[in-house]
Amino acid sequence: MSRLVENPTKAAGGTAKARVSPRRRRPGQRHRRPWLGLLYLAPGLVVYAVVVLVPAVQGAWLSLFHWDGVTQATWAGFENYTNFFRDPTLRQAVTHTLYFILFFSVLPIALGLLSAALSARRQVRGGGVFRALVFLPQMLTPAVVAVVWKRIYAPDGPINDALRAVGLGQLAHGWLGEYTWALPALGIAGTWGAFGLCTVLFTSGMQAIPGELYDAVRVDGGGAVREFFTVTLPGLRGSMSVVLTLTVLAAIRVFDIVWLTTKGGPGISTITPTIVLYQRAFANPDVGAAASIGIILAVVSLLATMVIVKLSEDKS
Amino acid sequence: MPRRRLSVTAGVAALPIAALLALSACTPGASGGSTSQATAGPVTTDPAKLGTVQLQVLDYFTGGADDAWMKAVVNAFHAKYPNITINRTSLSWGDVMQALPLKLKSNNPPDIVPANNGWQSLGTLVQGGLVLNLDSAAQAYGWRDKVPTSILQEHEFSTDGKQMGTGAVFGMPVARSSMIEVYYNRNLLRQLGLSVPTTYSAFTDALAKAKAAQLTPIALGNVEQVGITEPLYSVMNALGQQQKISDLIYSQGNVSIADQATGFPQAISTMKDWADKGYFTKQFGAVAGQDAAQQFVDGKALFHFDYSGSLPLKPGQSGNFGSFVLPRSDGGAPVATTSSATNFSVSSKSKHADAAAAFLNFAASPDAAQLAVNLGVAPLLDPSLKADGKDPLFADDVNNAGQISSKNSSVPYLDWATPTLLTTIQTKVQDLLAGKTSAQDVVSAAKTDDDSFKAKLAK
């Protein structure tokens, strides 16, 4: 419809031909459209440029220097990047990110699909309350979440108390202080945080799937499992791409909960690239190295997003 | 459609490249200015003669007794010199550390800033010429006579910013201390039939006795990696030599962190030994620092290493506690890791350097120390001060601070030695205490860190 509005002469002329093939408009008119659109976009674009693009470019530029944040920087070329791949601490941090993708993305998606499938298409008593409760973590400040989990995992915290109460005292651990347990413990906190988001998005996605499709499966003699795999899952493609993007990016960016609980410890057993970035930027001022980590994370995030979008595109 | 998306992608990619080309003319930090210049001309030490001045002060005293003391000092100063008005901005420690270089480079920086001692902040700012050389003010006010050398040294750098702990004064302490002390529980000590340890071996005996009596000897929480540094530094000060520790931290006199004289190797082994003997809170590696402090306040541990004034005490709770500086193994005057609660430096762009120096002088004066005592926060720089005795713990704190000032027996924080040393030590010590590495490895990792920084400084 917009074509008609933006091209009043032809619309007024009303020839069917002009409407069908707008590509043949005269050259002078062809340029008007994008510029007008840009004008409408300008306020947003300017803000985006100032707040996102310019700092991003500055960050990329800084990553090519050795700089303490104050004195004259020295040109480093791609040294900060080669150091990134050589640094054993960062290598470990990257493996932790992969690990966190499991806990921040894969697990919550699986759980979210399950709980949405169980509750979305029928009236479950208390379903709304359940969704509100599991969504709650999304509304809490990360700092609060970190403090709560630190308490939960404390040697005299609720988890260990519960284990002892049921006679499993030998399973009690100093969760965040042990090399084996600290990373999965923080991961589970992440799963808890993302689970509600996944549930709510999948539930709304499922409710948008037409009921006839389910009826068709029923007619073909399919049960609940087949319903899920032939109708629900394909129908959730859009929600899935949103959820995957959000949770994978969250996993790549994990910072608050680690910084506020273990600071990457014990040793470096929970360190993440963002923790190293923060340390380099503000504790041992090496701004170039910090910027290179940021740029690599940004590029990886962009690639991850593009892959997810590509995979979830409707090919039909 | 795919074709169109491609062109958009290309456009987005071209944008940063174009901007990069535009930017490539400038090198970060290029406008940072030359190395430090001295204050120009003679210093006016009578603030009343400076005319009407507005001083902008940045600090990290955002609340509690910190804020109360700073407010009291500002008010007292303004009452004394009504022509000088002080506008404070308080930000959290983290915010100050993140923003300070940018603030100082701006066209209108605060006059007085709380740059942290050491290379992470003040050293770098000196190298960048962003803070003022205060030597002429130091001379005019006699700071070198009034402030104990071991404290003032913490604020000194060579004018090229290559050496710390020597050269010109680039900041001033305030009359409030931040020192690492040993807190003890009076009742528990009495129950064990012990008196306050006055020798290092009496202290370790007390640890063993407490353990034998099934008490937690030392409340410690290290999940955030911070808790262990407090006993570590204290033991280092008890076993090493004050001069060598200072030299190590100031990168002077070719002292290696692996030298026994610094006490560092022995202190690392001692931490391992104490952990193995069960002297620390059970599962201390998983306990939060705040929880450990609370455990101590709740009477569940005999000792606790912490900064002065940082116990989570409720009013009236302090009667059962006392504090001391860990005695030295050779019987010498106890040495404490101590600094002023903040360093105050003056921006090199400040238009009111004289007024700023006058405020620095006041914040370090006996008057300011007295204000600290009145408010129940540990003073510094005035050994003659005594607490009124109503609060025995605070009386101990005041005594400890006075002793450090009069005996000149403070050492700076070990983590000032290099910007990365703290992280290195904290992570390696966690590995050590979990049995994943040896004390030898911790020492050599610290040495590698220190050596590579010194090599960089020498360039």
DSSP B277: T
Could you tell me if B162 and B242 lie in one domain? no
Domain CATH for B356: 3.40.190.10
Could you tell me if B226 and B244 lie in one domain? yes
Could you tell me if A13 and A95 lie in one domain? no
Pick left, alpha or beta for residue A288 (phi over 0 → left; psi -120 to 50 → alpha; otherwise beta).
alpha
pLDDT tens-digit map of B409-418: 999 999 899 9
Encoded tokens for B280: 């620390």
Minimal Cα–Cα distance from A207 to chain B, Å?
30
pLDDT tens-digit map of A187-219: 999 999 999 999 999 999 998 899 888 888 888
| A-chain residue closest to B9, CA distance | A306
Please give the mean pLDDT across all residues of chain B: 89
The torsion angles phi and psi of B250, rounded to 5 degrees, stand at: -85, 5
Q: How many domains does chain A have?
A: 2
DSSP B115: P
Percentage of chain B surpassing pLDDT 70? 92
| Stronger pLDDT, A122 or B161, i.e. the higher one | B161
Minimal Cα–Cα distance from B198 to chain A, Å?
34
Could you tell me if B105 and B250 lie in one domain? no
Could you tell me if B183 and B306 lie in one domain? yes
Note down the domain range covering B62: 37-176+341-382
pLDDT tens-digit map of A268-302: 999 999 999 999 988 878 899 999 999 999 999 99
Q: Please, are residues B165 and B184 in contact by the beta-carbon 8 Å criterion?
A: no
Model confidence at A26, pLDDT cuts 50, 70, 90, reads low
Could you tell me if A122 and A240 lie in one domain? yes
> Comparing A112-116, B13-17, B75-79, B226-230, which segment has the lowest mean pLDDT?
B13-17
Mean pLDDT of A236-260: 93
Q: How many domains does chain B have?
A: 2
Minimal Cα–Cα distance from A175 to chain B, Å?
7
Could you tell me if A25 and A84 lie in one domain? no
Kindly tell me if the per-residue pLDDT of B194 is higher than 90.
yes
Minimal Cα–Cα distance from A182 to chain B, Å?
9
Q: What's the pLDDT at B227? A: 94
Model confidence at A19, pLDDT cuts 50, 70, 90, reads very low
Kindly tell me if the per-residue pLDDT of B357 is higher than 60.
yes
| B-chain residue closest to A174, CA distance | B286
Model confidence at B28, pLDDT cuts 50, 70, 90, reads confident
Kindly tell me if the per-residue pLDDT of A314 is higher than 70.
no
Could you tell me if A193 and A303 lie in one domain? yes
Would B11 be classed as within a structural domain?
Answer: no
Would B22 be classed as within a structural domain?
Answer: no
Q: What is the pTM of this model?
A: 0.86
Model confidence at B286, pLDDT cuts 50, 70, 90, reads very high
Does A267 sit within 8 Å of B29, measured CB to CB?
no
User: Chain A interface residues facing chain B, Cβ-Cβ under 8 Å?
Assistant: 53-54, 56-58, 60-62, 65, 67-73, 75, 150, 153-155, 173-179, 261-268, 279, 282-287
Would A74 be classed as within a structural domain?
Answer: no
Could you tell me if B78 and B171 lie in one domain? yes
Q: What's the pLDDT at B5? A: 40
Q: Please, are residues A259 and B225 in contact by the beta-carbon 8 Å criterion?
A: no
Q: What's the pLDDT at A316? A: 52
Could you tell me if B81 and B164 lie in one domain? yes
Could you tell me if A17 and A121 lie in one domain? no
Could you tell me if A259 and A112 lie in one domain? yes
Report the Cα A7 to chain-centroid distance in Å.
41
Task: Quickly list H helices, chain A.
Answer: 2-6, 8-13, 16-20, 27-30, 32-48, 54-62, 79-86, 88-101, 107-119, 127-139, 142-153, 158-165, 182-207, 211-219, 224-227, 233-235, 237-253, 256-261, 273-278, 287-311
Q: What's the pLDDT at A31? A: 53
| Stronger pLDDT, B458 or A27, i.e. the higher one | B458
Would B391 be classed as within a structural domain?
Answer: no
Q: What's the pLDDT at B122? A: 92
Could you tell me if B233 and B378 lie in one domain? no
Mean pLDDT of A123-139: 84
Q: What's the pLDDT at A9? A: 41
Q: At what angle do helices A237-253 and A107-119 cross, to 10 degrees?
A: 150
Q: What's the pLDDT at B30? A: 56
Would B32 be classed as within a structural domain?
Answer: no
Note down the domain range covering A20: 1-29
Q: What's the pLDDT at A32? A: 57
Kindly tell me if the per-residue pLDDT of A34 is higher than 90.
no
ipTM score of complex: 0.83
Domain CATH for A139: 1.10.3720.10
DSSP letter string over B390-423? Answer: SSHHHHHHHHHHHHHHHHT-EE--GGGSSTTHHH
Could you tell me if B249 and B149 lie in one domain? no
pLDDT tens-digit map of B209-238: 999 999 999 999 999 999 999 999 999 999
User: Chain B interface residues facing chain A, Cβ-Cβ under 8 Å?
Assistant: 15-16, 19-20, 23-24, 27-30, 32, 94, 97-98, 101, 120, 124-125, 127-128, 130, 222-226, 282-288, 291, 419-420, 422-423, 426-428, 430-431, 434, 436
Could you tell me if B300 and B219 lie in one domain? yes
Kindly tell me if the per-residue pLDDT of A11 is higher than 70.
no
Model confidence at B41, pLDDT cuts 50, 70, 90, reads low
pLDDT tens-digit map of A50-69: 999 999 999 999 999 999 88
Q: Please, are residues B193 and B261 in contact by the beta-carbon 8 Å criterion?
A: no
Could you tell me if A137 and A23 lie in one domain? no
Could you tell me if B220 and B245 lie in one domain? yes
Strand partners, B178: B339
Could you tell me if A118 and A8 lie in one domain? no
Could you tell me if A177 and A299 lie in one domain? yes
Query: Which residues on chain A are in Cβ contact (under 8 Å) with B224?
Result: 261-263, 265
